[in-house]
Chains A and B, each alone.
Chain A
Amino acid sequence: MEAVLAGINVMVSEDGYLTDFSQWNKEVGTEIAKNEGIKMTDRHWEVIAWIQEQVKAEKPLSIRGIKKSGVLDIKEFYKLFPGGPLKVSTKIAGVHKPKSCI
């Protein structure tokens, strides 16, 4: 369905994830973060960039992957994106949320 984020018309899933990554930019990401109660910092953006790279390289995203990444440790990941860090950070990054088959 359509939504307006940072003044841009974008397509989102029913739970608010962008369905077309090409519609993502930093302003859209900032707006999604704001809706999640997160104020973005440089550190947030570093993590978001890493997530986008992983997804582009078709690598599965998981907490374990974060641990091995060397980008940040898991405690910090939770601090940056409280609640469900993978769920929240993928939303801000404009990529698919980690999901199962149903």
Chain B
Amino acid sequence: MKQLLILGAGTAGTMMANHMRPKLDKKEWQITIVDQYKTHYYQPGFLFLPFDIYTEDQVKKAGKKFIPKGVSYVQKKIEQIFPKENKVKLEDQTINYDILIIATGSKIAPEEVEGMKGANWHKNVFDFYTYEGSLALRNKLRTFKGGKMVVHFTEMPIKCPVAPLEFVFLADSYFNKKGMRDKVDLTFVTPLGGAFTKPKATASLSYLLKEKNIKVVTDFAIEHVDNDKNQIVDYADRAVDYDLLVTVPTNMGDKLIERSGMGDDLNFVPTHHNTLQSLDIENVFVIGDATNVPASKAGSVAHFQAETLTDNLLLYIDGKPLKEEFDGHANCFIETGNNKALLIDFNYTQEPVKGNFPFSGIGPLKLLTESILNHWGKLAFRWIYWHMLLKGIAIPFVSRNMSLKGKNI
């Protein structure tokens, strides 16, 4: 029996198990997926949980539900990958493999910044990239009386790069609805040169910050969090005061990657941009947030990657050349508050532009333009995630490679 071993049962790993099981002969191939955690989280929901838009139950389900029959689901801690020996050591067993898929994702690493995970962590310094952080923040916001709220991210790359902006837009809406917007001073702090960094998006969207009265601090490379003064301080000794800090810490690949000596400085695995094969080892493939490819770390990206990777695994098994197909395609709804959202569709080389999606001239969704329908799309996406995406079902009319149709270029 040959072994296809998948590490990580998050979005990407679960999709790969669902894609591959029907395609590989059960008499010939065993498929095993390993993840120590029992719960599968709908991570985009962490953006909504703090604002009481989603409940706890809407963002988590038992992971087991989504692993197909005929796939062995092992809930154990992964100690180390030995790529030269084609084996993976778990806490109390070793699994040999013929093909390995690394889908171990990325995690926040607040300990990378001095003071961030300090005395005030989850008291007035919060992340919203974990279930625990997002929930603690919800409880804080329910009783927040107003003051200076700072939304900040540490450095790129981060999972869902646009989430910090969405958070600040939703915060504006949330406080408006509560009738206390005038009591909250909202500031967005970014290490980049602006809240928007691509020319078309900057031109189309800069009004949002002005309209919502959100202050922006740019080029802010955080050096430490001062838990006594309630300030974040950067390397140029600039300080920003807060009463409530919502921060996105440095994002890093799993520590397993570091232990196995397979990652870059941030524990992301060097991966071929277009085939998703590891650059170092032929029978190791990488998908989703765990790769170092310069695509956004997002579920939609993992979804498009999964389609290419499925084809490439079958080609690899047949001893044929891999397709250099993946183009960095991402398709993301961006909440802008007040029940509106944007949609962006882009890839490695094409920046987000205006237009209609998925049908040229028709839409019904609008690219890079606020609309209520886009917001419904984002909310509907939760259902699509649980019922289609994880199961590896293609999204109708949205192809794995980005299409130029309907885009104003």
Interface residues of A, Cβ cutoff 8 Å to B: 13-15, 58-60, 62-65, 68, 74-75, 77-78, 83-87, 97-102
Contacts and interface: CB of A to CB of B under 8 A. Distances in A.
A99 B192 CA distance: 7
A101 B332 CA distance: 10
B22 interface: no
Contact of B235 (A13, A60, A65, A74): A74
B42 to A, nearest CB: 20
A101 B294 contact: no
15 contacts: A14-B199, A58-B292, A58-B294, A59-B264, A60-B292, A63-B155, A64-B112, A64-B250, A65-B265, A77-B235, A78-B235, A101-B344, A102-B197, A102-B198, A102-B344
B157 A84 contact: no
In order of increasing CB-CB distance, the 3 nearest A-B pairs are A84-B219, A63-B221, A102-B201
B341 interface: no
A101 B193 contact: no
A77 B156 CA distance: 18
B58 interface: no
Interface string B333-346: 01000000000101
Contacts of A98: 156, 191-193, 197
Q: Is the interface of A mostly helix, strand, loop or mixed?
A: loop
B121 interface: no
Given A99-B198, A101-B161, A102-B162, A63 B191 contact: yes
Contacts of B292: 58, 60
B196 A102 contact: yes
Given A100-B192, A101-B352, A62 B155 contact: yes
Contacts of B219: 83-84, 86-87
Given A58-B270, A60-B157, A84-B193, A102 B352 contact: yes
B218 interface: yes
Given A74-B221, A99-B198, A102-B196, A59 B265 contact: yes
Contact of A101 (B112, B205, B296): B296
A100 B161 contact: yes
B294 A78 contact: no
A68 B264 CA distance: 13
Given A15-B199, A62-B155, A83-B219, A101 B266 contact: no
A47 to B, nearest CB: 15
Contacts of A13: 199
B167 to A, nearest CB: 14
A85 B218 CA distance: 12
Given A87-B193, A87-B219, A100-B196, 5 more contacts: A62-B156, A78-B236, A98-B192, A102-B197, A102-B368
Nearest to B200: A102
A102 B192 contact: no
Nearest to B222: A63
Interface string B287-318: 00000101010000000000000000000000
Nearest to B332: A101
A39 B40 CA distance: 54
A12 B294 CA distance: 21
Contacts of B197: 97-100, 102
Interface in B83-112: 112
Contacts of B346: 101
Nearest to A13: B199
A60 B334 contact: no
A75 B221 CA distance: 12
B355 to A, nearest CB: 14
Contacts of A63: 155, 191, 221, 235
B218 A84 contact: yes
B330 interface: yes
B232 to A, nearest CB: 13
Contacts of A65: 265
A81 B360 CA distance: 45
Contacts of B112: 64
Contacts of B162: 100-102
